Amino acid sequence: MTSIPSAASDKVRILIVGDSEVGKTCLLHVLSFDKALTSTPRSTLGCVVEVKLFEYNHKPYFLELLEVGGRTKYESSRSVFYNQINGVILVHDLTNKQSYVHLKKWLGELAGRKNFKWKNIGVAPSSPNGASRQTFELKLASGEVVPALIVGTKQDLLAKEVRSSRSEEDGDPSLWVNTLDEASFRAKTMAHEALTLFFSRVIQRRFFHEKPVAHPAESLRSPMDMYGAGVLGAGGSPFASPARKPSRFSFTDSFGVEAKND
């Protein structure tokens, strides 16, 4: 019988970052407690940390979810939290395109580089249900390569938006969620599967030293392969659309990726 790792060497820390007001604190709450946050939280100053019990291979692990405040004011001081990271969740607001564009800046901040290029990123080979396409690898400033996940929040508001420039057509590798809808995070939903896969990958990397999955050539082949037949959008949501068509707006374009064949 194994015990729950509680020594310092067994820390698993996952960082949650993103622009101010995208819903990181709400996401953190629903991930840790399986319950939606009912009152609007204050803008996070510093960090908020929660602990989540996660089972992998029938063993329980404590995941530390550390959410860092996203106000530009504190940009220079945020880096105190960027050590001993084993995974990253990048959050953006589906109703605010700028927060998605700013993810590039966040990735650069985490990687410790001004101009962030996706040369070192590999997207995991797609699993049968397409849930893995949202998990990829990120090389941090410390040199480690950790799994990363992009999450888009406020999906419920997106449906109500008449004039948003974002539509289902946009090729977008993020996981679309509604942090106020607890049901969409329960077992057997798209969100749950993607998150489980992500957490599993984090634990694999942390404790079993699996090599980073880097298939740059494969990942940047074409949007068509990335968004194949999978259904995007949190399962159970009435706004889930049928199989997406690939579109002009691709993940690669928006982040200025260079398609290299390593």
By the rule CB under 8 A, 47 interacts with another protein: yes
Q: What are phi and psi of 213, to 5 degrees?
A: -85, 100
Helices (runs of H) and strands (runs of E) counted in the chain: 8, 7
Q: Which residues contact 187 (CB under 8 A, 6 or more apart)?
A: none
Which H or E element spans position 80?
none
Which residues, numbered 73-102, are part of the site for another protein (CB under 8 A)?
73-74, 76-77, 80-81, 93, 95-99, 102
Which residues, numbered 146-185, are part of the site for another protein (CB under 8 A)?
161, 163-165
Q: How far is the CB of 225 from another protein (least distance, A)?
A: 28
By the rule CB under 8 A, 258 interacts with another protein: no
- Bridge partners of 59, per DSSP, are 56
Joined together, the tokens standing for residue 238 give 């009435």
Give the three-class secondary structure for 30.
Answer: helix
By the rule CB under 8 A, 19 interacts with another protein: yes
User: Do residues 212 and 121 touch, judged by C-beta distance below 8 A?
Assistant: no
Q: How far is the CB of 262 from another protein (least distance, A)?
A: 33
By the rule CB under 8 A, 20 interacts with another protein: yes
By the rule CB under 8 A, 224 interacts with another protein: no
Ordered DSSP codes for 149-184:
EEEEE-HHHHHH-SS-S--TTS---SEE--TT-GGG
Of 51-59, 111-119, 217-225, 229-237, which part binds another protein (CB under 8 A)?
Answer: 51-59
Q: How many residues bind another protein (CB under 8 A)?
A: 54
Binding residues for another protein, per CB under 8 A?
1-4, 6, 19-21, 32-35, 43, 45-56, 58, 60, 62, 64, 66, 72-74, 76-77, 80-81, 93, 95-99, 102, 161, 163-165, 186-188, 196, 199-200
